[in-house]
Amino acid sequence: MILDNRGLEPPQPMMRTLAALAKLNPGETLTIINDRRPMFLYEQLDELGYRHETTAREDGSFEIRITKG
């Protein structure tokens, strides 16, 4: 699943992302696209046991692949 959070003001991207993650089954992946690096989200992901990988995109946005452990 891909969730495009570009253009949203904080805390909307984080709230949308956490709501979508709650629906994932173990081993499934959610890809989000944000205007900026989600620094506060990384802390939440680590605490909840999700794996994540961030890639900077050519348009200046960031793609974050999050996998439920």
Phi-psi region of 62 (alpha: psi -120 to 50; beta: other; left: phi over 0): beta
**Which tokens hold the place of 68?**
């439920």
Q: Is 32 exposed, middle or buried (0-12, 13-18, 19+ CB in 10 A)?
A: buried
Average confidence (pLDDT) over 8-14:
94
The pLDDT, as a whole number, for residue 18 is 96
Mean per-residue pLDDT over the chain, rounded: 96
pTM here is: 0.94
The pLDDT, as a whole number, for residue 36 is 95
